[in-house]
Amino acid sequence: MGKPWAVARSIIIAADVARVHALVNDFQHWATWSPWEDLDPSLERTYRGPASGTGAEYEWSGNTQAGTGRMKITNVTDEAIAIDLAFLKPFPATSTVRFSFVPVQGGTKVTWAMQGELSTVMRVLSKIRSMDAIIGPDVEKGLAQLKAEAEA
């Protein structure tokens, strides 16, 4: 069993919960805000299952920066979306992702949380930089882009 890790960031978005929720609940919308979508202009995307919600799947294959992996929405409520994430390349890793949506004055508080266990490769890398330092900036970028898309 690997060493557990967790990263979480939040942002206030000036849009209602339904608008923000819809952008996360449909993987085809991720191209407009995900922090990793612009890592490879030739990224290959495959969508399976329902268009959105529980059971929706997204697979990608790209250059060495984008890697190869898949996501599957495992649970959806009005307040949260849970996703299983599996990276296959450049190295295998799995984690769980949870987006939570809370109505607040002026919009929606969105929290993006990720957790998993460090693989052997990531254990070595985490001695140099923590998972928070590795993934945190990407999550912040994604939330900022989600905010821009939801508020447009």
Mean pLDDT lowest for which of 18-27, 32-41, 120-129?
A: 120-129
Q: Which of 129, 76, 77, 72 is nearest to 95 (CA)?
A: 72
Buried b (16+ CB within 10 A) or exposed e, 47-80: eeeeebeeebbbbbbbeeebbbbbbbbeebeeeb
Predicted TM-score (pTM) above 0.85: yes
* Spatial separation of the C-alpha atoms in residues 40 and 124, rounded to whole Å: 26
Task: Determine the angle formed by the axes of helices 17-25 and 131-151, rounding to 10 degrees.
Answer: 120
- Tell which wins on pLDDT, 72 or 5: 72
Strand order in the sheet with 4-13: 4-13, 107-117, 93-104, 80-89, 68-76, 57-61, 44-48
- Delineate the domains of the chain, giving CATH numbers in brackets: 4-151 (3.30.530.20)
Residue that is written with structure tokens 């206030």 in the block: 12
pLDDT in tens, 89-142: 887 889 999 999 999 999 999 999 999 987 766 777 677 778 888 889 999 999
Q: How far does CA 141 lie from the centroid of its chain?
A: 11
Buried b (16+ CB within 10 A) or exposed e, 8-20: ebebebebebebb
CB atoms within 10 A of CB 143: 21
